[in-house]
Structure 1
Amino acid sequence: MMSSKNRNILLNQMSQNEFDVVVVGGGITGAGIALDASSRGLKVALVEMQDFASGTSSRSTKLVHGGLRYLKQLEVKMVADVGKERAIVYENGPHVTTPEWMLLPIYKGGTFGKFSTSLGLRVYDFLAGVKKSERRSMLSKTETLKKEPLVKQENLLGGGYYVEYRTDDARLTMEVLKSAVSYGATVLNYVKANEFSYHTNRVNGIHATDLVSDTPFSIKGKYVINATGPWVDEVRKKDYSTNNKNLRLTKGVHLVFDQSVFPLKQAIYFDTPDGRMVFAIPRDGKTYVGTTDTFYNSEKATPKMTNEDREYILESIRFMFPEVNVHEEDVESSWAGIRPLIYEEGKDPSEISRKDEIWEHESGLITIAGGKLTGYRKMAEQVVDLVVSRMKLNEGIIYSASNTKNIRISGGDVNGSNGFQKYIEKIVNECKNEYLEKKTNRGINQNVWFQHSTCTLFYKYLLHIPVDYYAQLMYSIEHEMAYTPTDFFVRRTGDLYFNIEKVLLYKDQVITIMSQELNWTIDETKRYTQDLERELTDATEPINLH
C-alpha cells in the first residue's frame, strides 16, 4: 500500500478509521516512530506535508556516525548512545549502510593533537562498543599520506584511522517507512496537518488537507506525535498548551565535485581555517564536502546555498588539499539542509548540543525535538514507550516492549552485514537480463524491482530511457509513493545530487512517464516540471544575500 496510484484508497482509510497514534512528519524520526509503534501492534497513521524525507532527512552529511567531536564537548552519553545505535542501524539495513574508514589528519596546532586523538578514538571505540575489526589505529605521517596523498603536508604529524558508516539518508527513511507499512501503518505524503482536533481539551486527531487533490479531511487518533523536525515549533503553536523550550535552526551546505577535479580516494574528517571540522567523502565517482554550520531563520522547505556557503567550503578544501585546484565552476551540485536543535543561550551553531528531548504537553500532544539521524531508532523507541505507558495508565491496555533492535528494515533481511555480500552475489548470478545494471541498494526488494523490467523493453526504444531506469521509476511510483519527478530524482535515486547529468538527460522522459502513469492534469505537469527545474537551479546556482 505504498503506491502513488492508491492515494484515494489511503485517504479513505485515514479518514474512516480511528488510530492509536497519528504521526505528523515523514522524516527519519517519524518513520522510526511509525515502525516502532506498528511493530508493537498499535494502529498508526503518518502524514507528511511534502514528500517523505524531503527536509533534514535527505539533506544530511549522509553518515550514520557516532559524533567524535562531541567527546570534545564532553557529551559522553550522546557518544555512547549513538555510537551503539550505529551498529544496530548497520545490521538492520546493510543494503543502505556501508562501513567507511575515516582518516583524521593530525596537525601541529590543530583541533586534535596526537595524544588527544589516540585517547579520544580509544574512548570512542569503548563507548560505542566498536567491534574488533573496526577499532581505531594511529598512523604516522608517512602512513597518513599513503592513505590520502592530497592532504596538506605542512605541519602534518600523523593521523587517526577509524570507522564511520555512510548511508543514503532518504533511502534509509524510505526503507523504514516501508517496514512500518508492512506492520500495518498507513502513511501518506503531500498531506498537510492544518490544526488539531480536541475532546475535552485533549488532542484526539488532526484536520488535514490532501495537497494533491486539495481535499480536506480529518484523522482521529488517541495520541498525536509531532515529529516535524524544523517545523516542530510551528506545529506546537497550533496547540493551546506550551512550554518554555524552543528550537534554534542551523543550516548545513554540502558541495559535490566530480573525481576528475577532486580525486579523493579516502574519506577525511579535517580542520577548516576557522577551527571547525568538516567531511570530504568519495562516493560513486564523486567527492562531496561539508558541512557549514550557520544560524538560519529563512524559508524552511527549500533552504539554499549562498555564495558565502560555497566560498567557505571551497576555501576549506584549498586549505586542507592545496594541490586540489577547485573553483566555483567545478561544483556539480549541492544541497542545503536545516538542523532543528534545541536552543541553548549564548552558544555558537557548532556548539549547540545535538541531543533530543521529548515534550509532553498539557493537551496530550507529544513532541520529539532535536536529535541526530544515527539515533532515530532509539528516539522512536522512547517516544512509543511514553505512548504505551499512557495507554496502560489510562486504558489498561498493555503493549509489548520495543523490538526494533532486531527488526530488519525493508530490503535488509539478508542475514545481517555478513550475509549481504553473499546475497548480492546470488542476485547478480541469477539476474540474466542484459538490460539491467546490478543495483545493490534495494536489498531483497531487488526482486520486485527486477520484475518491472520484464515486458518493458519497448520503453528503451520508444522513450530513449534505459530499462533499468524505467524499472527504478516504476518501482518508486508503485512501491515507494513517488508522485513528482523531484521525488524520484532527489529522494528515490539521489541522482540530482550525485549524478546530475543523468537527471538532465532523462528528466523529460521521466516527466512523460509519470504524467501518464499518475494521470496528471496539464497544470500539474507544468507545476511539477517547474519544481524540478527549481531544484536543479538551487543545486547549481547559489543565491546572493547582498
Structure 2
Amino acid sequence: MESEFNPDRPADLSPAYRDEAWRRLSEEQFDIVVIGGGVVGVGAALDAATRGLRVALVEARDIASGTSSRSSKMFHGGLRYLEQFEFGLVREALHERELSLRLLAPHLVRPLPFLAPLTRRVWERPYMAAGLFLYDRMGGAKSVPGQRHVSRAGALRVAPSLKRDSLIGGIRYYDTVVDDARHSLTLARTASQYGAVIRTSTQAIGFLTESDRVMGVKVRDSETGETTEVRGHCVINAAGVWTDEVQALSKRRGHFKVRASKGVHIVVPRDRIVSETAIILRTATSVLFVIPWETHWIIGTTDTDWNLDLAHPAATRKDIDYILDRVNQELVTPLTHDDIEGVYAGLRPLLAGEDDQTSKLSREHAVAVVAPGLVSIAGGKYTTYRVMGADAVEACNDYIPTRVAPSITERVPLVGADGYFALINQCENLGERFGLHPYRIRRLLNRYGSLLDDVLYYADADASLLEPLTAAPQYLRAEIVYAVWVEGALHLEDVLARRTRIAIEYSHRGVDCAQEVADLMAPILGWDEKTTAWEVANYTARVTAEKASQRQPDDESADALRAAAPEARREILEPVPVPE
C-alpha cells in the first residue's frame, strides 16, 4: 500500500499528505486562508480553489467535528421558514437542494418522503396545502413528487405507529436526507482535488498583520504543539460557533455576534416505529423530525441557548425527556429511555446583533469585513453552504492582487458523484465481483459513490478487510483502513464519530469495537501499543462522560461531566476569551 504523498491523487488526505501540507502552509503564499473545517469553511475552500485561487484551510480538530456532524441529517429547503416569511431563504435552499440531489452529490443527498399529520379540522389542511404549494413552486417538486393529501386511514397505512386519535389526516411531501459529516468531508476532499491545502488538527492562534492589514494566520499543530505562519492575501473566518473567539484574536470589533443554540437528537432502532416515511410534528415553538436512518430513526431537535463548552455540547435528561414526551404524544407504543441507542447534541451558529435593537436571531447568513484582509461569515443553514462559501470568497476580491474568476461550484460535482447512478443499477454485478451482498454494495455506494473501488482496493492485499466489524457489522473493516489512508482520520473518535456513525448507531456507542478499530488504525498511523491503548481509553472516557452527562438535570452539571473527558488532540489550546 502506498505510503508516500501522491501528487496525482490530491483528494487523498493521507498521513503523508498531512506532512506535505504542513510544509506548504509554512512556505507558500496563498490568496485565501480559511479558518474552520465545517461545511461553510470547506465550501469556501472549494469555491476559491475552483476559481483558480491558491487556498489553504486549517481546522483545529477534525473536518465537521463541530456543528456540521451534528445536524438533523437533512438537506432541506426549510419548510417551516415559510411561516416566518423568509421566502428568499427557502427558495435559495430549495435551489441548492436540487443541485446536490441531481448533480453535485447524488451519492450523499437522497430523496426522503415525509408525512405531515394534520390535527385540526377546517383550517389546517388548506393552510398546510398553501405552504406546501409555495414550497413545490419554489423548487421543492422539480425532481421529486409534489404534495399529496391523504385521509386519516391513508396516513395510518404509511405510518401505522401513529395513534389513530392523534391525527385527522395528513399530507405527504418530499425532502432529502444526508450524512452531514461525510458530505463535509467529501467537500474537503474535492477542494483538495482542485488544489486547496487542507490540514486538520491545525489551530489558528493569531493573525499576521502589517499596519492595519491582516496578512495571514499563526497556526499550531494540535497534535505536536509545533507552530508556523501561513501567509495569505485574505483570511476567511468560517469558524461557526467559534466565530467570535477567532475574531477576538484580531483584537477588532466585529459587525455581528454569533449565538449558540443547542439542538439535541436521539437515535432509536428502526423497529420501534413502524412507518414508510419520515414524520414532521409541530411543537409549541418549532417542529420535531422523525427521520429514517438506515436501521434507526433519528428524532429531534431541541432549541435552547448554550453558553458553555462549544466543542462538546452536552445533552441533558431534560432535553431527552422533552423529545420523548413530544414524540410519544403521537405513537401507539411509546418510546422509553431504554430504547435509545444514541444521543448527540450540536450547536447552531445563529446571528445576533450587537445590541438589543438589532438582536434578531436569524438563519440567514452574514458576511463582514472585520479588518482589511479579514472576512467573517456566520449564520445560515447547512443546505446553503455553497452560497455562503461563494459570498465569503467574493468579499475577499479587493485583497487579492489577481483577477478573481466567478464562482463555478454549481457545476462541480463532488468526488464520488460521477457515475453514481449507473453504479446503483449494477449492484448485483458489483456484488458478484467483490463477493459482497448487493445490499452491502448499495450501502457503500451511498457513502462513497464511485470511489467504491478505492475503498475495497485495500482488501486485495488482505481479504479480511471485507469482513464486517465484529461489534458494528454495518461497517466493513476496509472502511476503517480507508478512513485513515485516504480520509484524514487521526484519532479513534474521528473514525467512530464521523467517518462512520458508530458512536450514535450502536448502544455501546463504539466502545465494544474500539480495540478492533484501533488495531486497524495503528500500523497506518505508526501507533505503538501504548498509544493504541491510550486511544481506546480516551474514547471510552469520552463515551462514559457523554452517557453520564445525559443523566443530568441541567446544562451546567451535564457540561461539567462532559468536559471532564480528555481531548483526543492533546495539544489543542483553549480559545481566547471574547471581550464583553
The answer to whether structure 1 residue 317 and structure 2 residue 327 are counterparts is yes
The answer for the alignment partner of 2:560 in structure 1 is: none
Q: Residues 80 and 460 (structure 1 numbering): CA distance in 2 closer, same or farther, change over 3 Å?
A: closer
Does residue 450 in structure 1 map to residue 456 in structure 2? yes
- Change in CA separation of 1:261 and 1:229 when aligned onto 2, cut-off 3 Å: same
1:113-159 Cα deviation digits (max 9, x unpaired): 11110000000111235316421122222211112122233262321
Superposition deviation, residue 262 in structure 1: 3.1
Counterparts of 1:212-361 in structure 2 under 5 Å?
212-272=223-283, 274-321=284-331, 323-343=332-352, 352-361=361-370
Q: How does 1:82-481 map to 2 (within 5 A)?
A: 82-91=93-102, 92-108=104-120, 113-128=124-139, 130-131=141-142, 133-154=144-165, 156-272=167-283, 274-321=284-331, 323-343=332-352, 352-391=361-400, 395=401, 397-414=402-419, 419=422, 421-422=424-425, 424=427, 427-428=430-431, 430-432=433-435, 437-438=440-441, 439-440=444-445, 441-457=447-463, 469-481=476-488
1:37 and 1:44 in contact (8 A); partners too: yes
Kindly provide the amino acid, as one letter, of the partner of residue 291 in structure 1: T
Instruction: Verify the 8 A CA contact 2:144 2:174 in the aligned structure 1.
Output: no
Q: 1:371 to 1:148 in 2, by over 3 A?
A: same
Contact 1:489 1:495 in 2 (8 A): yes
Tell me the SS of whatever aligns to 2:164: coil
SS of residue matched to 2:235? strand
Q: Which secondary structure state, in structure 2, belongs to the residue aligned with residue 94 of structure 1?
A: coil
Equivalent positions of 1:448-527 (< 5 A) are 448-457=454-463, 469-500=476-507, 503-520=510-527, 524-527=531-534
More deviation, 7-16/78-87: 7-16
For each residue in 1:84-103, what CA deviation from the matched residue of structure 2 results, as whole angstroms up to 9, or x when unmatched?
A: 11111222111111100111
CA contact (8 A) 1:317 1:324 kept: no
Residues 371-420 of structure 1: per-residue CA shift (max 9 Å, x gap): 111000111111122223543xxx3x2232111111110111127xx546
Instruction: State the Cα deviation string for residues 277-331 of structure 1 (Å, max 9, x = none).
Output: 110012212111000000000101111110100100110111121x122111211
Cα deviation, residue 433, structure 1? 5.8
Structure 2: runs of 5 or more not aligned: 1-11, 558-580
Matched-pair contact (CA < 8 Å) for 1:453–1:468? no
Please report how far the alpha carbon of residue 457 of structure 1 lies from its aligned counterpart in structure 2 after TM superposition: 2.6
Q: Separation in 2 of the partners of 1:215 and 1:308?
A: 42
Deviation of 1:486 (Å): 0.8
Query: Structure 1 residues 7, 360: CA separation in 2 closer, same or farther (over 3 Å shift)?
Result: same
Which stretch shifts more, 511-520 or 210-219?
Answer: 511-520
* Residues 333, 497 of structure 1: 8 Å contact kept: yes
Instruction: Give the counterpart letter for 1:431 in structure 2.
Output: F
Q: Secondary structure of 1:361's partner?
A: strand
Name the CA distance, whole Å, in 2 between partners of 1:291 and 1:468.
Answer: 27
Read off the aligned partner of 2:308 and give its amino acid letter: S
- Maintained 8 Å contact 2:204/2:218: yes
CA distance in structure 2 between the aligned counterparts of 1:42 and 1:543, rounded to whole angstroms? 49
Offset, 1:189: 0.8
- Change in Cα spacing, 1:523 to 1:435, as seen in structure 2 (3 Å) is farther
Task: Give 1:15's match in structure 2, choosing from 19, 26, 50.
Answer: 26
SS in 1 for 2:476: helix
1: CA distance, partners of 2:541 / 2:431: 37
Q: 1:32-72, CA deviations, whole angstroms, 9 ceiling, x for partnerless residues?
A: 11111101111111111111101000000000001111000
- Answer yes or no: is the 8 Å Cα contact 2:373–2:396 preserved in 1: no
Of residues 162-171 and 532-541 in structure 1, the stretch that sits farther from structure 2 once superposed is 532-541
Alpha-carbon distance in 2 for matches of 1:523, 1:45? 33
Q: Which residue of 2 aligns with 1:61?
A: 72
Runs of at least 4 residues off by over 6 Å: 463-468
Structure 1: tracts of 5 or more residues without a match:
none
Deviates more, 1:229-238 or 1:139-148: 139-148
The CA deviation string for residues 413-462 of structure 1, in whole angstroms up to 9 with x for no partner, is 127xx54633656644543468994222111111111101112135689x
What displacement does 1:534 show? 3.5
Mapped to 2, the partners of 1:308 and 1:103 lie a distance apart of 27
Mark the CA change 1:280 to 1:460 in structure 2 (over 3 Å): closer, same or farther: closer
Contact 2:160–2:274 at 8 Å: present in 1 too?
A: no
Question: Secondary structure at 2:371's aligned position in 1?
Answer: coil
Residues 410 and 146 (structure 1), Cα distance of their counterparts in 2 relative to 1, 3 Å cut: same
Moved more, 164-173 or 423-432: 423-432
Conserved 8 A contact 2:367-2:395: no
**134-143 or 488-497, larger mean C-alpha shift:** 134-143
CA contact (8 A) 1:230 1:340 kept: yes
User: Which position in structure 2 is the counterpart of 1:45?
Assistant: 56
The alignment's TM-score, normalised by the length of structure 1, stands at: 0.92
Task: Please give the TM-score of this superposition, normalised by the length of structure 2.
Answer: 0.86
Match of 2:535 in 1: 528
Shift, 1:263, TM fit:
3.4
